[in-house]
Amino acid sequence: MSLAVVCFCGYFCNRSIPWRPEDYDSFKWVQALKAKALNKHAFVPVHGVSKRLSNDNLDDATKWFGVFATDYLKKNEHTGPFLVVPVPNSDSVASSNSKPRTRKLAKAICDTLRDGSTVLDCLRWKKNLGSASEVGGPREAEILFGNLLVLRDSLDGLDDGSSVLLVDDVTTSGGHLQACAAKIESKGLGVEIVMCGGKTVYDQS
């Protein structure tokens, strides 16, 4: 399955390679999207202006994500309204009330687009397999697909022709994105595009 994935930054994660200032800025912006406290600050270019991001304005990262996504969609003539689906984080399981933190990113896109796009929070994991980045959870799309489910009644009444926009804070191998897109498409909806805050890069190819 081919996916159109847009990432607004990238940063090296191989500790043997010296990080550049832009790697640190990108990493910290993604950390802010994950609602994690920052070590010092970062600079993020928004409409050509370098904006300072720190723990004092951490929520601005999510607003800027909405701006970046909206600018890209309009520039590339992707027209909504969209069903904006957040990729669930590892502890967003069906048996709990934990909501994906990526819901805020999905809402930021809808709030900035103002075209009738809505957040469709419909995906959950059957069980917590652990974070791929922190505790070595799986990245294979096939394993992740089998652990995903669509919340009951969440797709009732939706038009099969609705455009789905998938949202995540960061991607590495793309396995989570592929699994989520495949699960949505198995229910008769098509994923038009994926928006990610950043992409981790482990080599300099």
Identify the band that residue 58 occupies on the pLDDT scale cut at 50, 70 and 90. Answer: very high
Distance from C-alpha of 46 to C-alpha of 37, rounded to nearest angstrom: 21
- What average pLDDT does range 121-130 have in this prediction? 92
**pLDDT value at 159 more than 80:** no
pTM above the 0.85 mark?
yes
Closest CA to 33 of 97, 82, 106, 90: 106
**pLDDT value at 137 more than 70:** no
Distance from C-alpha of 60 to C-alpha of 79, rounded to nearest angstrom: 25
Model confidence pLDDT, tens digit, residues 169-200: 999 889 999 999 999 999 989 899 999 999 98
Work out the mean pLDDT of the chain and round it to a whole number: 91
**pLDDT value at 42 more than 90:** yes
Matching residue, tokens 């970062």: 42
Tokens describing residue 203: 């080599």
Kindly state the DSSP code that residue 159 receives in the 8-state scheme.
-
**pLDDT value at 15 more than 70:** no
Kindly state the DSSP code that residue 93 receives in the 8-state scheme.
B
Pair type for strands 42-46 and 10-12: unpaired
CB 44 within 8 A of CB 29: yes
Model confidence pLDDT, tens digit, residues 73-104: 999 999 889 999 999 998 999 998 889 999 99
